[in-house]
Amino acid sequence: METKQNNIKFRFIDLFAGIGGIRIPFEKLGGKCVFTSEWDKFCQITYQFNFGDCPHGDITKTDEKRIPDHDILLAGFPCQPFSIAGVSKKKSLGREHGFKDRKQGNLFFDIVRILKKKRPKAFLLENVKNLKSHDGGRTYQVIESALQNLDYNLFAKVIDAADYVPQHRERIIIVGFRKDIFPEIEFEFPDAEARKTDIADILEKDVDRKYTLSDKLWKYLRDYAKKHREKGNGFGFGLINPAEDSTTRTLSARYYKDGSEILIKQHRKNPRRLTPRECARLMGFPDNFKIPVSDNQAYKQFGNAVVIPVIEAVAKEMTSAIENYGQNIQKTPKLEYVKNKIGEYRPGTLCPEVSV
């Protein structure tokens, strides 16, 4: 996945980076990643294997003054405090959600402090569609107000990935441009594309039988679905017939538990889960993207990832709007060095105990 870049058009940072799904399209468009942050150690391994960079750790402990100057800030900040499933789970456990979730809910304000200090020309944020309606819309009002108070023009839209990949996955994209540089910028989100792939196109031909559900698990899922149908609930598994169906439900980070939201029908056999590579394809990752972790970790990582073609389509509109405005993004200067727990951060630094 590592790319050689000779003509760098702009610099960006990759926050809450996960496994780098937002980074890929911005690099493809000529950007240079000068800083990245991700606290999960397994995501760090996958990121390292694919980009050669070890992400900085906990962003809450990162001094914003030490982050290199950049043109665009990218962040897919944690969605669990705002997602429908995440909120329901936290409520059932008597836990706080949204901004009251001290561990994850307040991470948005780390983005705010970095924007305030570094003043990039633009930013892109990604989250679940429920962000707009969470807490009666008050959560989004706080986010919108905080970003507008930093003097950025804001644009937001909920986009369904089904226009790009064979998966229904609605996510909100928030794009901002500095008012003092782009006071009247013309930006529009991309129009829906004619999807080029269906479920059958992403499936592997020879799949290990370990992905086929056991009789016990398949019976449990059918009984569970029947029980909820009788109660009038919509809970149940999602069974896909590749010969007839074109799209799946949303792939989630809990897919490793039983695979129930996306099961592939098989001839004279129990259904099977998607393989990690099929999950990668469902999210738009290229086949040369390395998967160095266990299946369970891979399912979590792709379930939490962004759909790359969606981000690429928005990124093209962003960079086009900037270029057409007549503001030339400066070439990348010599990169600054940032100290963290891992040591001296720079592109190419290896994570501890990780060999590529």
Q: Which of 330, 277, 324 lies closest to 302, judged by CA? A: 277
Q: Is the same domain home to 52 and 115? A: yes
Instruction: Scan for tokens 């997602």, then name that residue.
Output: 83
pLDDT number for residue 306: 97
pLDDT of 33-59, one tens digit each? 999 999 999 999 999 999 999 999 889
Q: Is the same domain home to 185 and 278? A: no
Other CB atoms closer than 10 Å to residue 204's CB: what's the count? 12
Q: Is the same domain home to 274 and 330? A: no
Q: Is the same domain home to 96 and 112? A: yes
Which of 33, 43, 54, 79 is flagged as catalytic?
79
**For the chain, how many structural domains are there in total?**
2
* pLDDT-above-90 percentage for the chain: 68
Q: Is the same domain home to 34 and 87? A: yes
pLDDT number for residue 95: 46
How many whole angstroms separate alpha carbon 162 and alpha carbon 169? 7
Exposed, middle or buried by CB within 10 Å (0-12, 13-18, 19+), for 349?
A: middle
Q: Is the same domain home to 255 and 118? A: no
79 part of the active site: yes
Q: Is the same domain home to 114 and 82? A: yes
Angle ∠(15,19,22) on CA atoms, nearest 5: 55
Instruction: Decide if 130 is inside a domain.
Output: yes
pTM, to two decimals: 0.85
Q: Is the same domain home to 296 and 151? A: no
Domain that holds residue 90: 10-194+306-345
pLDDT of 122-156, one tens digit each? 999 999 898 888 778 888 998 999 999 999 999 99
Q: Is the same domain home to 243 and 113? A: no
pLDDT, mean over the chain: 86
Q: Is the same domain home to 111 and 220? A: no
CATH number at residue 44: 3.40.50.150
